[in-house]
Amino acid sequence: MFKSYIDPAERVEANRKLPGLMLEGLLLGGTGLGVLALIFEIAADAFSVAAYQTLLAIHGAEGYHQIAIAAFMVLSVLLFLGIVPAYKAGAYLRPNAGGSGPLVEAIGPVKMRWLSWIGTSLFFLDAVLTIIISSISAADVTMLVLPELAPYRILLAEVYAFFIMVVLVAMGPKRAVPLFLIGGGAFTIFTIGALGLVGVTAVINPDWAFLTPGIVTRLELAGVTEHVVRATQDISALSTVLLFQLFLRSMSSAMLGFSGYEVIPASGKHAARPKWKTINTALTLAAVFLIGTGVFQLFAAQQWNIPATEGYSTLLIEYEIVSAQTLGNGVSPENIVVTSADQRAAEEIFTADYTAAVVEGPLSNAPALPEELAGLSEEEIIDGLAYDIALARQVTEATVGTFGETFLFIAGTLLAIILLLAQGGGYVGGAAVAANAARLGRLPGFFIDDRIGIGVIWAVAAVLIPIIREVVVVESYYAFGFVSAFVITSTTVFFVREDVLQERGIIPGSGEAKSLRFAGLRGMIASYFMLIVLVTQKTEALPAIIIAGTGITLFQIFVAHGGFKRLREQTAVPQFPPGTPRPTYDIGIQRAHDQARQRGIASAVIDSLHEGDFAKFNMGPDRILQLVSYLYNVDPALFILDEDHDHIEEPSLELEATYQHAYEQRQEVAQHVEYFSHYGIFTFIHNYHVNWVDEEHGRDASVVQRAMLDILFPLTDPDTMWAQYCAFEPTNQPEPIWQFCRQRYLWAKDQWPNLSDRITTIWTLQDFGLIPQNIDVQTIVSVADGKRQVRVHIPTNSSQDDARAASETEA
């Protein structure tokens, strides 16, 4: 079951290239994004959310750190031993798939194709929720640097979402890659160092927990944190049922930290080759990073008794403690002095927030008292709050003018930037999924342009941001999208088609095939368990997810089939006349097949250009591409003259078959181009031959025409060219065709004086009666770039032409 399914020779070669793959693409060179570049590119989406994972885990466990740690450890096992192997197997089979939905179409059985429709809908929803989470989180982190902006938090989130949308639309997703690399790399490197410092200091100094109440109180006073969730009693007092319920609740919340994981295989199209090795290595390292950051954060949170502070990351509180104690002047309990201003502020907090909790007791809906204040009298509670306020002031003063203040500024700025860039991951990922659905004919064709998808995602997110407002609210909905992607990917790998295995050199039923399917099975067990936890613990989010997902899926069906009454896939594409500017289609599936046909023709022409098939036409590729685009109704934007031309499989088997059928017309396309090349030369002969016709001396039009054909086509059978010329009829051609023919016309016009000097001299001498009419003329023509010389016999009158025809007939 654990036997490697990778070809041994391929594995050895990939391992040999791995050191180079680690750094490739960091400077946007090489064959694509290497391991670190791929990780840095998705770090914004995958790792930024991990900064809120601890907060959500503690929030789900209602402040009990032990429960949150246990839930996270179980999730980590499910990720590393279940999800990671399934995704690695999927990347090995089809690295260019680009997400769970396209993976089903590419390698899954026909009966599972319906999952790709659902996968597209949920991924698009995920993209919208990513924008909401990232923009709100970025606004929250900004409060660390500019706490005075707290009243404008939601407006700031809207500005962030709009700003990143404008940048991506203006620059384009591809040009924005350096932003992701720089921001993701800086955040990843900083987080590794900073969390290492947090972990070490948490082990050595657990007594620094006395700082936490002061920091939390300052956040509440500034309005940064609206709700604080603390453990209200000792964990040993909890019943088994409640303990298990909190464990599942914490697990369902902590899943958010793994939300960006599916972005890695979705970026496989841009990975350096061998793509499967790059993706698989990145999957492993990303999982280690996600698990490692979660473990360090949760351990420090337990050591320093940090509660769940809605609106402010637990990670930032840990950074504040380290900044004050390690990088700042330090705070000790004996240096804390409570002032009268602290006392008045405490009385105001008690009156506003905790009066109901004291009067009504456990049945109150008011914020719970901190654990250390529970059971105390009103005066004692106010004194405790005053102490916390004084402590908060001391913590702030301890970092002023020190490296700790700089550290906090860098941490807050980097986290804010990375959360902003995380929106880019949502925008680009969602737009890519929408573009893929458009290529399948399931969304309108304008979604093929990523900018349109980005704009639509922003519009939906902008409406929902003021409604949702909190990360802890949206995470319930967000988790369903990526967990569904886990389910779809794992199930697809387990039920992979046998022909896909054979393409990768894996014999169905062999040990390698069983090992690969076992990887899918492990992913199924892990993802199905996660999904069950979500359904049972986040039930309140299900109606909205079902309604939105169903709505998007129905819209896809409507576009693909032109309605809900005819659900048979009508793939017959209407035959459009050449030069049709805007072809119209009855249904989306027809459009998808016609666009696949266009991509096949475009790839065939590009390969022909790269292999020199059109070199004999002696012109740049622009005229050839313009001609083919007109004749075959191919979008000119599809002709990408890239030296590293690599075909990426079509998003479904049917479209791939259409693509291959079109690509197989490569020879036919070349012949079509050659026909119009001859047309241009024939036009020159037709227009110019009359200058040398002299019927009185036996040199009629056919003699001159055949002589010109023989000189301009020295390598082609004369009778074949004569038959083609006889069938030629000069007509007015559309401009795209004539622009190509004109170049061949001009070529013939330039070549004729150079090649015909001998025969035209003889014709001139014959016209003046200086030499006999029946002289035998042979001329030498250089071909193949001057590397070959061909002897060509040229008739000088009709009698010689007739004699040649007679001799060829007798032969």
Specify the pLDDT at position 766: 78
Specify the pLDDT at position 233: 79
pTM for this predicted structure? 0.78
Neighbours of 357 (CB within 10 A): 20
The alpha carbons of the chain give a radius of gyration, in whole angstroms, of 36
For 119-163, write each residue's pLDDT tens digit.
888 888 888 888 888 888 788 778 767 777 778 888 998 998 898
Specify the pLDDT at position 523: 95
Which stretches within 205-262 are classed as H helix?
A: 212-222, 240-254
Going from N- to C-terminal start, the domains of the chain cover 8-328+402-555, 588-664, 669-810
Do the beta carbons of residue 265 and residue 87 sit within 8 Å?
yes
Amino acid at 574: P
Specify the pLDDT at position 570: 56
Given a cut of 80, whether residue 585 has pLDDT beyond it is yes
Mean pLDDT of 717-743: 91
CATH of domain 8-328+402-555: 1.20.1740.10
Given a cut of 80, whether residue 617 has pLDDT beyond it is yes
Residue-level length of the chain: 811
Q: Which two tokens stand for residue 1?
A: 């079951």
Do the beta carbons of residue 501 and residue 508 sit within 8 Å?
yes
| More confidently predicted of 701 and 137 | 701
Q: What CA–CA distance (Å, rounded) separates 42 from 279?
A: 12
Given a cut of 80, whether residue 45 has pLDDT beyond it is no
Specify the pLDDT at position 44: 59
Q: Which two tokens stand for residue 207?
A: 């007594």
As a whole number of Å, the end-to-end CA separation of the chain is 73
Do the beta carbons of residue 623 and residue 735 sit within 8 Å?
no
Q: At 594, which helix (H) or strand (E)?
A: helix 588-610
If pLDDT is split at 50, 70 and 90, which confidence band does 718 have? confident
Specify the pLDDT at position 805: 45
Q: What CA–CA distance (Å, rounded) separates 325 from 33?
A: 40
Specify the pLDDT at position 303: 94
Neighbours of 27 (CB within 10 A): 10
Given a cut of 80, whether residue 415 has pLDDT beyond it is no
Task: Using a pLDDT cut of 90, give the percent of the chain over it.
Answer: 27
Do the beta carbons of residue 739 and residue 623 sit within 8 Å?
yes
Specify the pLDDT at position 86: 93
Specify the pLDDT at position 646: 63
Mean pLDDT taken over the chain = 82
Amino acid at 259: S
For 520-533, write each residue's pLDDT tens digit.
999 999 999 999 99
For 761-782, write each residue's pLDDT tens digit.
887 887 787 877 777 666 666 5
Q: Which of 350, 396, 352 has its CA nearest to residue 370?
A: 350
| Neighbouring residues of 637: CB distance < 8 A, sequence distance ≥ 6 | none
Given a cut of 60, whether residue 800 has pLDDT beyond it is no
Do the beta carbons of residue 391 and residue 214 sit within 8 Å?
yes
Q: What CA–CA distance (Å, rounded) separates 327 from 201?
A: 11
For 330-372, write each residue's pLDDT tens digit.
888 888 888 888 888 888 777 766 665 555 555 455 555 555 5
Q: At 584, which helix (H) or strand (E)?
A: none
Which stretches within 510-564 are classed as H helix?
A: 511-537, 542-561
Q: What CA–CA distance (Å, rounded) separates 663 from 604?
A: 5
Least confident of 351-365, 423-437, 583-597: 351-365
For 454-508, write each residue's pLDDT tens digit.
999 999 999 988 888 776 677 677 788 888 889 999 999 999 999 999 988 899 9
Q: What is the 3-state secondary structure (H, E, C) of 3-60?
A: CCCCCHHHHHHHHHHHHHHHHCCCCCCCCCECHHHHHHHHHHHHCCHHHHHHHHHHHH
CA distance readout (Å), 136 to 157, 373, 472, 513, 797: 5, 31, 11, 45, 89
Specify the pLDDT at position 652: 83
Give 509: exposed, middle or buried? Use CB within 10 Å, 0-12, 13-18, 19+: exposed
